[in-house]
A and B are shown apart, each in its own frame.
Chain A
Amino acid sequence: MNDAAAIIIRAVQYRFDGGTALHALDVDIRRSVITGLVGPDGAGKTTLMRIMAGLLKASAGQILVDGLDPVTEAAELRLRLGYMPQKFGLYEDLTVQENLDLYADLHGVLGPARASSFAHLLAFTDLARFTGRPAGKLSGGMKQKLGLACTLLGSPRVLLLDEPSVGVDPISRRELWKMVGTLADAGMTIVWSTAYLDEAERCSEVLLMNAGRLEYAGTPASLSERMQGRCLQLRNIVGSRREVLQKALRAPEVSDGVLQGESIRLVLRRADEPPQLDGLQAGPEAYLVEVRPRLEDAFVDLLGGGPGGESVLAEHMPETRVDRGVDAAAMISADALTRRFGDFVATDRISFRVRRGEIFGLLGPNGAGKSTTFKMMCGLLAPSSGTAQVMGLDLKTSASHARRQIGYMAQKFALYGNLSVAQNLSFFSGIYGLRGDIQAKQIADMVRVFELQPFLATQAGALPLGFKQRLALSCAIMHQPPLLFLDEPTSGVDPITRREFWTHINGLVEKGVTVMVTTHFMDEAEYCDRIGLIYRGRMIAAGTPDRLKQQATRAGEEEITMAEAFIRLVEQDDGQREELRA
């Protein structure tokens, strides 16, 4: 036995009625480090987690967690293992302290050890100020911290975290990461499954899974190293960067590409074989620079490259019309938008305008007022003062007419899970007033564009995640809205599906659709033309992604990431607030 391995997995298989979730997996997980578990949706990450936690029994093979078999020695293992599932079982009506008490009782933490571990964990998670608050009233980040605290109550030696950072803002995510890092330094073995590859990049080890197989196990650096010389950035683009991206992705030399602010990041199939710049029509000033490979580049490459730049959807959509009298510079406009809940001011005089064919991103920490703003913009919430308008129509006074212009895609999959795909399509086209031949044609087009034919009779809730998202998007755009509102559209979605989704969005934007999006993915933020950063109810910064990055860059520093810029801008605001008080 390898002494350094905390978890030993030998030829582990998992089969279920519909097929095989894990094919003969062989891997050792090192002690006292953070191991990242990454892979597209349906790769088998959660299945593996649950097998390690003893919640599922492997169909074949052997697994030892800290020297114990998770099934036969479950009672013993339970004392040494902490498992935090995707949605941790917090009791939302109980307070933070009551939740801790409950889990302490369940873990058998009693006597003097109880008070000291509460004190320690509350200090550790910085939740001491909130012990009296119901768990349901905590922000997403704080909920995850409390979940972690509850998991840590039994002082486990092995900690399994299943996507702990989904829906958590970059600041809370960084705090969570620091906390877990401290635990690993103290000797805890941690397995962290995640869809955020920038996060996985900081793990000591990564396991990359795809379709139930282990594609890679090792350090993130050596995986990224394979990409050396293949990652480029196209800078100084003149003209539409989306069109350039589309052309670049068409080039045979390019395997993957994404927007990064004003620039485009390209991944080549082979090192030193860049695409012809003339063919990209990026303007005379454009040039290519080699950049440091990221884990995400390697990830996408390992899975066979990105989905390509063609959006069949965009080809099918007509150019959006703008009615006469509508100001193309203010397709969406907020004017001193304010919303109060009792004494609490959720959004404080926020103003912005979005022009036609622009992607406007709302960023901000959990609970900063981003969702409130978003909800007011699509008419789900009435403002306390100020106005929210779409295409010159006030969402308060001409609500029904204004909402007809909007396509809306919610954060959570919000279609009818127990209706079939066909029924969902006909329902959503129906409530937007489509009927007869037009309705039938629109539905047929969506089915063709998104390749939904084989799933027409499938219940929407049973679709694979990627298809759920396609269905959600098609339901949002069947009435060909000139405006699209996307609320964290790719939360918890893997990079490949996310790329496919954005290919469609970019295609729609080229047709003149105006998009407003909220996101916690900083990569996604870079796809936006402009970003509004909302913190404590106010818009503390607005501008292009590059502007925001520059704004946060300190003298003598090279370019920083969007996540770093986000955190710094929020901290700067905190600093100014302190100064004002002093």
Chain B
Amino acid sequence: MWHAILTLVRKELQAIMGDSQTRAMMIMPVILQLLLFPFAATLEVKNSTLAIYNEDGGAASIELIQRLAAAKAFPRLIMVNSEEQLRQSIDAQQALLAVRIAADFTRRLARGEPAQVQAIIDGRRSNSAQIAFGYAQQVIRQFAEEQRPQVLPARLTVQHLYNPNLEYRWFVLPSLVALITTIGCLMVTALSLAREREEGTFEQLLVSPLTPGYIMAGKAVPGILVAVIQGSIIAAAAVWVYHVPFTGSVWLLYLSMLCYGLSLSGFGLFISALCANQQQAFLGVFGFMAPAIILSGYLAPVENMPVILRAVSAVDPVTHFIVIVKGIFLKGHGFVQVWPHLWPLLAIAAVTLGLAYTLFLFRSGQ
């Protein structure tokens, strides 16, 4: 009966490639995300504006302002002349961060006393403002050290392992492999079965000698194939276009993609077994995908989540796959390091596929 599955898989691929809309739905997201994500979804703070209220006007304050102006993070400076203007520049979101230099700044420095610089951060954009504040702090600390050259008792040196220059793309692109394959695989498994139900071809399959298991396999395999192909495109672009280092082994990446595709198709088939039409399936896919990505640790570290959500995150296939892909790309992980995240994928696949199969049998015999 391998032949039957082969027939089903070929049909599915023909349906995807034959319909210009479906074809576009499979290819466009890959291209768009590849072009947009590495640039748009960056946590680096570039191109932001710094407001400065210099109450001092002395030589030291001007020196500090020039240094701040030279920092890559702040290509634009707004000089303000009153507290009112300072507040306004933050209120109107003209500036991400404001620095206020006290009137006695130069004087106190000249006397060798500690001088005050106040930073005002836009709390509405806390994340990027914090990062901007970090940059400003660095500049000020350097300035301070030069003003009072003395040997500090201890100094913390930071080295970013696996991503020495904190290239954000190194982080985004491997994760993108996970995100894009999620969409592709769910589309094929969940939506196409709902579509068959809507168009009546599903009954035509049910009266054929194919058993539910074959019909499901016939949907899961193309889903996994699509996921693997999309994943390969992104991985290749990451390596050759964006020059993200690839330190692991290719076969391990493909093995992981396969396991990930299996777990996703389990979710996809489960959704499609629940839904009566494409509209419901579409909502189902989004209902699964949004929390799956949010809880995956892509947007916020899993360790910071409440215990319950951490548990949910543990059964989220996206979580495991992102860890695996990053490990293979950046950390040179081998099978031993990958396995702790590989078996959960297989376990998730077993559970969801089992559930989908049961539900499928129940619904088709109704």
Contacts and interface: CB of A to CB of B under 8 A. Distances in A.
Interface of A: 378-382, 399-401, 403-404, 406, 408, 410, 412-420, 423, 426-428, 430-433, 435, 459, 485
B211 interface: yes
Contacts of B138: none
B201 A433 contact: no
Interface stretch (B4-12, B149-157, B220-228, B259-267): B4-12
Given A416-B15, A427-B7, A433-B3, A400 B211 contact: yes
Interface in B198-241: 199-201, 203-211
Interface of B: 1, 3-4, 6-8, 10-11, 14-15, 18-19, 22, 199-201, 203-211, 364-366
B8 A418 contact: no
A404 B18 contact: no
Contacts of A420: 18
Chain B interface, DSSP helix/strand/loop, else mixed: helix
Contacts of B203: 380, 408, 410, 414
A419 B14 contact: yes
B207 A378 contact: yes
A28 B292 CA distance: 64
Contacts of B4: 430-431, 433
A269 to B, nearest CB: 41
A427 B11 contact: yes
Given A381-B365, A431-B210, A410 B11 contact: no
Contacts of A412: 200
B7 A418 contact: no
Given A381-B365, A414-B199, A433-B3, A408 B14 contact: no
**Interface-central residue, B7, B211, B366, by most chain A CB under 10 Å:** B7
Nearest to B11: A427
B207 A379 contact: yes
B114 to A, nearest CB: 71
Contacts of B15: 416, 418-419
19 contacts: A379-B206, A400-B210, A410-B203, A412-B200, A414-B200, A415-B204, A416-B15, A418-B18, A418-B19, A419-B14, A427-B10, A430-B3, A430-B10, A430-B11, A431-B8, A431-B205, A432-B209, A433-B4, A435-B3
**Interface-central residue, B4, B15, B199, B207, by most chain A CB under 10 Å:** B207
What are the nearest 9 A-B pairs in CB distance? A430-B7, A414-B200, A408-B207, A418-B19, A404-B209, A382-B365, A427-B11, A412-B200, A400-B209
A421 to B, nearest CB: 12
A414 B200 CA distance: 5
A485 B207 contact: yes
Contacts of A413: 200
A381 B365 CA distance: 5
Contact of B209 (A410, A417, A433): A433
A432 B208 contact: yes
Nearest to B8: A431
A431 B199 contact: no
**Interface-central residue, B1, B206, B366, by most chain A CB under 10 Å:** B206
Nearest to B20: A418
A412 B4 CA distance: 24
